[in-house]
Amino acid sequence: MPALGPCAILRTAAELTASLHVLRARLLARGRETPEAIEARLTRSARLDAHIGNTDVEIVNDGTPADAALTLLQHLRAER
């Protein structure tokens, strides 16, 4: 791949996910939805995830936002 200049555009399709137990815990901690509503939301999300494809990188955000950002940044740097 040729060297990229400062105005180069990188196009990356990233899928940001988290494991079900982490999503459940985060949603419960927010306290805005009932446990039943959370389970329905997670079920809908799982069905949607089955149809997502054609991404360049999947980032499993089970850690801190900084960890997820670092993973994305590392991927983008590797693409250059």
Q: What are the tens digits of pLDDT across the range 61-70?
A: 999 999 999 9
In angstroms and rounded to an integer, the radius of gyration of the C-alpha atoms of the chain is 16
Q: Count Cβ neighbours within 10 Å for each residue of 24-55 and write b for 16 or more, e otherwise.
A: beebeeeeeeeeeebeeeeeeeeeeeeeeeee
| pLDDT at site 29 | 97
pTM above 0.85, yes or no: no
* Degrees, nearest 5: CA angle 70-61-33: 140
Q: What are the tens digits of pLDDT across the range 25-72?
A: 999 999 999 999 999 999 988 777 766 667 888 899 999 999 999 999
